[in-house]
Amino acid sequence: MKRLFFTCAFFIYLLGSAQMTFSERVEYSELATSKDKQLFFVDFWATWCVPCIHVSTYLNTVQEQFREELYIVSVTQENSDVVRPFLIKHPTKLAVSIDYDGQNFKKHNVRALPYGVLFNAEGKILWKGNPADFTPKIIREQLAKNKKTTPIYDFLKYASYQNEVEITLDFNGDYKIQRANNPWGSSPVVERNGDITIIKGSITQIIGYLLKVSSRQVTMKGENAQYELLIKKTVNKARQERQIAESIVKELGYKLRKEERSGQILEVRLPESTANYWKTDQIDWGTKNSKFLVDDNQFSADNISVHDFLYKLSEVVGKPISVKNSHHANDQLFDWQMHYWFRDLMVDNLSQLGIQAQETSGNFTRYFLE
């Protein structure tokens, strides 16, 4: 039995009846006026969601166009220690808030990002979908139909996360897996909470993470449902994760079949020494945060192994990785920052770490859940 501590909401403003309650305010809107609003738009997003970055730019334009009548707030489930550094690199003038326990994500069945919901002043849902499709025409039509206004902070309420509540979890050995209502993403969300690693994603994404291969290399028959996996830290992390993958596959009633394929791969040769790798004091996101921060051209990671780094590199470049010499690819932890969008720049970044990489043809393993 494992005791896990999560921060939780302690108080809520008492005036009015909130239509949306968030955990923390990260930024106020620099564009919307303080005037009472007719419409409220909630933009659900995440730092690892590349399309969300482009949508944010578009929503800045929309908010500026409807400063008096509309209030847009961008909401993520991630820790503020991850969100704030991300916003330094990708600034926005929109209001930004955090929904730690994902209540609003669950309430509105957010299964893909980006996603948006439009409300009137009374909290009635008027529109929902991809924010890129949220056009000025839709806004004008709804403004004509919804004249009533409400103060911004009667509609939006905030809770202060100040106290810690102890939650007891029953683990099946080293792990616990349970169904979840995660938003669908291109890769799993990997977080840490003390000595617990939390992986949120589909079954193929979770198995891919555990086997340290891109989720594109894992295929399954049947429902690729969303799960949340919690893993206790042990001495031999790599061996533990492979064993957990086998246990999960068996627990869910599947068999894991491997098949060798040939195609385009990223061939990697690790250096004899890790002297050029970043030490763990280069990035510090705290003990409760996401392990990876991905934007549209680079990714960063705080305190992860070479195994995890190569896994994430495979995910973002969309190619299997073949490691030619893994003599030091153990559980030693490092910080990382890597460009991946421009291949020449990526190869140069790797070279600075002493890692040789080239795109070539070669063999890789495909995994099938049957």
Instruction: Transcribe 252-281 into DSSP letters.
Output: TT--EEEEEEEEEEEEEE--S--TTSBPTT
CA 127 to chain centroid: 25
Q: Output DSSP code: residue 37.
A: B
pLDDT at 296: 67
* Torsion of the alpha carbons at 80, 85, 88 and 94, rounded to the nearest 10: -20
Task: Check: CB of residue 48 under 8 Å from CB of residue 182.
Answer: no
Whether 7 shows a pLDDT value over 70: the answer reads no
Q: Are 227 and 303 in the same domain?
A: yes
Task: Please check whether residue 152 lies inside any domain of the structure.
Answer: yes
Q: Output DSSP code: residue 131.
A: G
Alpha-carbon separation of residue 250 from 185, 188, 256, 298 (angstroms)? 25, 21, 8, 36
Euclidean distance between CA atoms 365 and 218, whole angstroms? 9
Instruction: Reply yes or no: is the peptide bond before residue 114 cis, omega within 30 of 0.
Output: yes
Whether 11 shows a pLDDT value over 80: the answer reads no
- Per the structure, the complete domain to which residue 84 belongs is given by 20-158
| Most confident stretch, 108-117, 118-127, 238-247, 278-287 | 118-127
| Domain end (from 123, 158, 193) | 158
Task: Please check whether residue 217 lies inside any domain of the structure.
Answer: yes
Q: Are 189 and 100 in the same domain?
A: no
Q: Are 133 and 277 in the same domain?
A: no
Euclidean distance between CA atoms 201 and 229, whole angstroms? 9
Task: Check: CB of residue 282 under 8 Å from CB of residue 180.
Answer: no
pTM: 0.69
Least Cα distance to 130 among 29, 187, 204, 45 occurs for: 45
Whether 38 shows a pLDDT value over 90: the answer reads yes
Task: Determine the residue type at 263.
Answer: G
| Domain end (from 158, 193, 224) | 158
- For residue 247, which phi and psi values (nearest 5 degrees)? -65, -45
Q: Are 364 and 216 in the same domain?
A: yes
Q: Are 140 and 181 in the same domain?
A: no
How much of the chain, in percent, has pLDDT values that exceed 70?
86
Give me the sign of the Cα torsion angle 247, 250, 252, 257: positive
Comparing 323 with 6, the larger pLDDT belongs to 323
Give the mean pLDDT of 35-64. Answer: 92
Q: Name every residue whose Cβ is closer than 8 Å to that of residue 139 and which is 6 or more positions away in sequence.
A: 39, 62, 66, 69, 70
pLDDT at 224: 85
Alpha-carbon separation of residue 91 from 8, 84, 216, 339 (angstroms)? 27, 10, 31, 19
pLDDT at 8: 38
Task: Please check whether residue 169 lies inside any domain of the structure.
Answer: no
Q: pLDDT tens digit string along 302-323?
A: 888 898 999 999 988 989 999 8
Beta-ladder partners of 310: none
Q: Are 218 and 151 in the same domain?
A: no
pLDDT at 286: 66
Q: Are 181 and 325 in the same domain?
A: yes
Domain count, the chain: 2
Q: Are 256 and 131 in the same domain?
A: no
Whether 199 shows a pLDDT value over 70: the answer reads yes
Give me the sign of the Cα torsion angle 242, 193, 318, 181: positive
Domain CATH code at residue 59:
3.40.30.10
Least Cα distance to 238 among 320, 332, 136 occurs for: 332
| Domain end (from 127, 158, 189) | 158
Least Cα distance to 261 among 217, 291, 313, 310 occurs for: 217
